[in-house]
Each structure stands twice: as structure tokens, then as C-alpha cells.
Amino acid sequence: MKKLFKLFIICSVSFLLFGCNKDDNKLVMVTEAGFAPYEYRDSSGIVGVDVDIAREIAAAMGKELEIKDVAFDSLINELNSGKADFAAAGMSINEERKKEVDFSIEYVSSKQVVVVRKDYNKIKNINDLNGKTISVQLGSVADTYVTKNFKNSKIVRQKKFLSAAEDVKAKKSECIIMDELPAKELVKNNSELTILKIELFTDKYAIAVKKGNTELLNKINEVLEKLIEEGKIEEFVINHSS
Ligand code: ARG
């Protein structure tokens, strides 16, 4: 009787530990879906370049893709707490992030640009950013950059680029610093905004996984290599640019 009871306890504990784990057939991508053309919402749900890439990864692994949309500054926590398998979010590689997650090979080269109102002319070069009110996405590389380099500027950290655009339109902020292609999409939809011809810095995107998850990382790299070689990423970008 005692033995049976022990067995019962062992079984229940292992069920709690392993049985309730994430569905093995699912691959969970986490992103912040306010970043067209890389991830955005349309009538069919969350779509974009990163979603197309993620679908290829899931297909190659024979798994069903699930997409979670969270705040950009929660992506790393989603990975490290095991709530998601990988982050595909136009995420730039940098040293700080490398300490917290493992990155795939690079799949996009980007640059950071300045978005302003068309009738605004107080920023002619990088130094002019000093002392200005600057909107960024909370936790983005632009956030890190302005925090480090423009100590006299007022930084408005928004969760959504749309809110940053509203800030600038309402003159609550003088500019947005953000990635080039998403900036182009943003100004296409907000005719009072434009992109300045100042380039701040370049960056490279990669997919992130929890530190040490080399098995998944290898699969992701295999798929990315193939997509890059076949010119598919450029194709995805064209398909998702308006
Ligand atoms: N490339 C920038 C970064 O890594 C911004 C990415 C924003 N991505 C997004 N899905 N909102 O910090």
C-alpha cells in the first residue's frame, strides 16, 4: 500500500513537472506587432517579414506556429522564463542583449533614422538632437543610444511607435528615432511626418532564443541561411511594404 502511494506521488509530481509543460507540437514566437513591414496586424492577424520567416522555421521543424504579441521590452523575459521559444521582432544584435540571449545569424541590415513633422526644421545634424525631446520605443536600441549619448535631451519612451507618432504630430515631442523601414511605413501612413537625411547608426537584426538553446538555434540558422541564399527575405520585405 505504502509503495503504491509512493508511486502515485511520484507520478503526480512528474506530471506536474513535465506533463503540464508547453505543447511539444507548438513553436511559440514572441514579437511586438507594431513594426511594419516586419510584424504588424492585418485582417488575417499578425503578419510580416518575421512571421514569414517564423512560418518557414515551424514548417522545417514540423511544428505549429503560435505568435505572442507583447511589449518590446518584455521579449527577453518571455524567452528566459520559457513562455516563448524564440523572439523574431526586428531585434538588433548588441552587446547588452548578447549577455541575456543567444542570437541567430543576421538576416537584415538596418539603420536608425530621425522622423519629424514636415514643418519642423530644428534638427540638421546629429548634434542638434542635444536638448531636444526625443521619442523612442521603450527598450529599443534607439532608447539605449539616446540615453547614452544625449544626456540633455528629454526622452519619451513609448511602448508603441504609433504613440510616438502621435507625440510628434501633437508637438509633444520633436522627433522619433527608429529603424528605417518601419519609419518609411510610418510616414506613408502619416502624411504630416517625414524622415530626415541624417543616419545615426547601422544595426543588424537576428532571431533570439533563450541562452543555451543551441538545438533550436541551429534549426533557425539553417532556415535563415537557406532563405538568405534564395533571396527570400528581400521577397518577404517587398511583399510587406506598402
Ligand atoms: N531594431 C530595434 C531594436 O532592436 C527596434 C525593434 C523594434 N521591433 C518591434 N517589433 N517593435 O531595438
| Cα(158)–Cα(155) distance, integer angstroms | 9
- Which triple of cell numbers denotes residue 50? 518575421
Please work out whether the CB of residue 141 comes within 6 Å of at least one atom of ligand 1: yes
- Residue 24 has a pLDDT of 85
From the CA of 161, give the closest atom in ligand 1.
Answer: 11
Please work out whether the CB of residue 91 comes within 6 Å of at least one atom of ligand 1: yes
Residue with cell 502619416: 190
**Cβ atoms of residues 124 and 116 within 8 Å:** no
Please work out whether the CB of residue 146 comes within 6 Å of at least one atom of ligand 1: no
- Residue 242 has a pLDDT of 86
Report the separation in Å between the CA atom of 31 and the middle of ligand 1, taken as the mean of its atom positions. Answer: 9
Report the separation in Å between the CA atom of 90 and the middle of ligand 1, taken as the mean of its atom positions. Answer: 5
Ligand 1, atom 12, lies closest to the CA of 140
**Cβ atoms of residues 143 and 157 within 8 Å:** yes
Please work out whether the CB of residue 179 comes within 6 Å of at least one atom of ligand 1: yes
Tens-level pLDDT at each residue, the chain (242 residues) = 666 667 666 656 655 555 545 578 999 999 999 999 999 999 999 999 999 999 999 999 999 999 999 999 999 999 999 999 999 999 999 999 999 999 999 999 999 999 999 999 999 999 999 999 999 999 999 999 999 999 999 999 999 999 999 999 999 999 999 999 999 999 999 999 999 999 899 999 999 999 999 999 999 999 999 999 999 999 999 999 98
Please work out whether the CB of residue 116 comes within 6 Å of at least one atom of ligand 1: no
Q: Is the dihedral of CA 164, 170, 173, 178 positive or negative?
A: positive
